[in-house]
Amino acid sequence: MSIVILLAAGASAGFLSGLLGIAGGLLVVAALTLALPALGIPAAQVMRVSVATAMAANVLTLLASATAHIRQRSVLWPTWRWLAAGLVLGGFAGAHITQLLSARVLRWVIAMFCVFMAWRMMRERKHAKDPDSPERVPRTPWLLPTGTGIGALSAVVGIGGGSMIVPLLVSLGVKPVKAVSTSAVCGLTIAVSTVLSYALTVHAPPQPLPWGSVGYLYLPAAAVVAVGSMSLAPVGARLAHGISGAALARIFAVFLLFVGALIAAGK
């Protein structure tokens, strides 16, 4: 049953990654909290291992998604370069914060942030300019510290950052489909740096974890999730390029509300 749960969560995450430029990390974290106790993970470590393992699965999920979007030639590389350094720094920092602090207050901050950004995306699409108007390619230096914050928040809750990166880029004038594509590459950047931090952690788990664990990563579970996710990521990416920008923005806004509700309902 645990394997079925993880495969289903991985397939859903892969589809969302391709469609919306996010890794579906919250769905994977939720599935892992259900499956890991039966796989021998101590109850006291289930939450941390779930977040770390979700990020490990995100690496392969986002790799499949990013590759599909790169083939569509829709990634804004100049914007990614401004964000990348901050995303890496934030990913390393956030992984260590997760091992030290409670995320109770952070959970509510992110939940409210999701609601606000969903409202903002819907409002901006209503007042959007002509879809054929020139598109912006953001290169502002402010993307560096913004990327650091996004990377840190993403590492703490186990997501690829798309729920923050896509609305940010859309608000800066990027068309939704290219914001989704660029977000997939940014999410991969966050995931790699975060996974390295969880694997090479200086805060060793206080209880021994089962065979197949590296730091807080439980690699067997990550592999099962990745198998499911990589199968559907290209499908989501192809669908994203066939949907209008306004429809994609609405879908993403609904997903943000769902994410906010999931986080607010957490214990």
pLDDT digits (tens, 9 = 90+) for 252-261: 778 768 767 7
- For residue 4, what pLDDT band results from cuts at 50, 70 and 90? confident
Q: Terminal CA-to-CA distance of the chain, rounded, Å? A: 24
Tell me how far the alpha carbon of residue 266 is from its chain's centroid: 18
Which has more pLDDT, 110 or 227?
227
- Residue 79 has a pLDDT of 94
d(CA 12, CA 255): 13
Asked whether 218 and 31 are in contact (CB, 8 A), the reply is no
What pLDDT, on the 0 to 100 scale, is given for residue 129?
Answer: 47
Give the mean model confidence (pLDDT) for residues 129-144: 72
Mean pLDDT (the chain) is: 79
* The predicted structure's pLDDT at residue 228: 82
Taking each helix axis as running N to C, give the angle between helix 176-199 and helix 162-171, from 0 to 180 degrees, rounded to the nearest 10.
140
Confidence (pLDDT) at 96:
82
The per-residue pLDDT for 263 is 61
Q: What is the mean pLDDT of residues 146-175?
A: 85
Task: Please state the rounded mean pLDDT for residues 44-70.
Answer: 83
**pLDDT of res. 76:** 93
Task: State which of 1-5, 70-74, 143-147, 229-233 shows the largest mean pLDDT.
Answer: 143-147
pLDDT at position 103: 47
AA letter at 88: V
pLDDT per residue as tens digits for the range 60-102: 777 877 888 898 888 999 999 999 999 999 998 888 877 776 5
**What's the token pair of residue 245?**
């920008």
More confident residue, 30 or 186: 186
Residue 204 has pLDDT above 50, yes or no: yes
Dihedral (Cα; 252, 66, 150, 93), 10-degree rounding = 150
Query: Tell me, what amino acid is at 64?
Result: A
Mean pLDDT across the stretch 3-20?
76
pLDDT, position 78: 93
Please give the C-alpha separations between residue 139 and each of 82, 100, 250, in angstroms, as whole numbers.
6, 34, 26
pLDDT computed for residue 127 by the predictor: 44
Q: What is the SS3 assignment for 214?
A: strand
Question: pLDDT > 70: what percent of the chain?
Answer: 77
Residue 219 banded pLDDT, cuts 50, 70, 90: very high
Q: Is the pLDDT of residue 119 over 60?
A: yes
Confidence class of residue 150 from pLDDT cuts 50, 70 and 90? very high
